[in-house]
């Protein structure tokens, strides 16, 4: 857990996806040296080990049942390190990649968070945990609305359905009087598990201590941040799609930028000069437009070729299977 904090502080944010097949690997206390040499491989191993310890341990069985795990394709894991004034606005967890591709919001089975910085909220009492003394700070609590999707339908993403969008501070104050809210203060090694359909937000980090206790001397030089590890259990219906581009991963960020650029380019090309449409004349007169269309055509062709090759492999595999069975 201390290693997770260290990696998060250095990278600020990262995300991976751990499939159920990977989670069947024996939970060992030490990550094999072969998985420590490459940063991406090491993060994957850290995420796998954290899921095994936090969500698959003996005590977790009373919350996440065997049936739940049978439905699960894998777990999206991300790590976020927050500075002063950082916050996470009101939202609902869902499969981002699925929404980008289908415009359908598909929440996870469960959402969970784990606190890994040696900190405790001012509302909590300091403790000595795993040899590390915790330091107090203000803000950064986890606020979840137990009403579920009906509340999200009323407020919308980042409260944009309200007549006037609420700041996180305003929503935090409102949560003290509005029904359905539960606030869980930040505390070192605290884990939180909730239904995937519950909207939530993370309060603004108002203060942070100048220094915290460190497991090693070298780590004392790292800046102090409030680190949270997030988890989403996704079902088999959409897990494979999420696995391609895990949220907060480099691959996902590149995909989002490419998609946004494509939308922006499409809007720019649809101008009054061509009356909102693309014509052969406008393409010939605009080299950038022509180049963009060629790029789209090439991407479509490559995608079709990949799908064709994949389908051919599946047919061949199915045929081989039938022969071997017979």
Q: Look up the pTM and report it.
A: 0.75
Same domain, 33 and 159: yes
The CATH number of the domain holding residue 219 is 2.60.120.10
Query: Across the chain, where does the E strand assignment appear?
Result: 13-19, 72-82, 88-91, 110-115, 119-121, 128-129, 132-133, 135-137, 142-145, 181-184, 191-195, 200-202, 226-235
45 & 170 share domain: yes
Looking at the 3D structure of the chain, how many domains does it have?
2
Asked if 239 and 295 sit in the same domain, the reply is no
| Shared domain check, 44 and 93 | yes
**Residue of 50, 51, 196 lying closest to 111 (CA atoms):** 196
CA distance 27 to 56: 10
Q: Are residues 319 and 181 in the same domain?
A: no
| Containing structural domain, residue 300 | 270-325
Q: Give the tens place of pLDDT for each residue, 268-288.
A: 555 544 455 556 666 667 776
203 and 82, same domain (yes or no): yes
242, 281: one domain = no
Residue 325 tokens, joined: 């069975």
Q: What is the mean pLDDT of residues 24-39?
A: 64
How high is the pLDDT of residue 233? 98
Q: What is the pLDDT of residues 61-117, one digit of tens each?
A: 889 999 999 999 999 999 999 999 999 999 999 998 888 878 889 999 999 999 999
* 257 within domain boundaries: no
pLDDT at position 86 is 96
């Amino acid at each position: 857990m201390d290693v997770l904090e260290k990696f998060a502080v250095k990278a600020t944010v990262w995300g991976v996806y751990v499939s159920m097949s990977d989670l069947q690997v024996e939970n060992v206390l030490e990550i094999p040296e072969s998985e420590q040499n490459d940063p991406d491989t090491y993060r994957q191993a850290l995420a796998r080990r954290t899921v095994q310890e936090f969500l698959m341990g003996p005590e977790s069985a009373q919350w996440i049942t065997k049936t739940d795990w049978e439905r699960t394709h894998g777990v999206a894991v991300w790590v976020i390190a927050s500075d002063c004034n950082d916050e996470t606005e009101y939202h609902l967890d869902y499969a981002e990649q699925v929404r980008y591709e289908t415009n359908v919001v598909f929440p996870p089975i469960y959402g969970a968070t784990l606190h890994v910085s040696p900190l405790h909220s001012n509302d909590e009492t300091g403790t000595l945990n795993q040899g590390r003394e915790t330091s107090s700070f203000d803000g950064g609590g986890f606020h979840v609305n137990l009403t579920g999707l009906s509340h999200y339908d009323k407020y919308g993403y980042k409260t944009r359905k309200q007549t006037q969008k609420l700041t996180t501070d305003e929503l935090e104050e409102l949560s003290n009087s509005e029904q359905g809210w539960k606030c869980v203060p930040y505390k070192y090694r605290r884990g939180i598990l909730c239904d995937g359909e519950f909207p939530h937000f993370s309060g603004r980090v108002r203060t942070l201590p100048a220094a915290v206790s460190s497991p090693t001397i070298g780590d004392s030089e790292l800046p102090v941040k409030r680190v949270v590890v997030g988890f989403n259990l996704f079902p088999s219906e959409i897990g494979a799609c999420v696995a391609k581009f895990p949220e907060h991963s480099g691959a996902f960020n590149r995909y989002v930028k490419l998609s946004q650029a494509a939308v922006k380019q499409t809007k720019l090309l649809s101008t009054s000069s061509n009356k909102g449409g693309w014509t052969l004349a406008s393409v010939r007169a605009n080299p950038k437009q022509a180049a963009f269309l060629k790029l789209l055509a090439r991407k479509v062709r490559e995608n079709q070729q990949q799908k064709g090759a994949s389908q051919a492999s599946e047919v061949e595999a199915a045929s081989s299977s039938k022969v071997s069975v017979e």
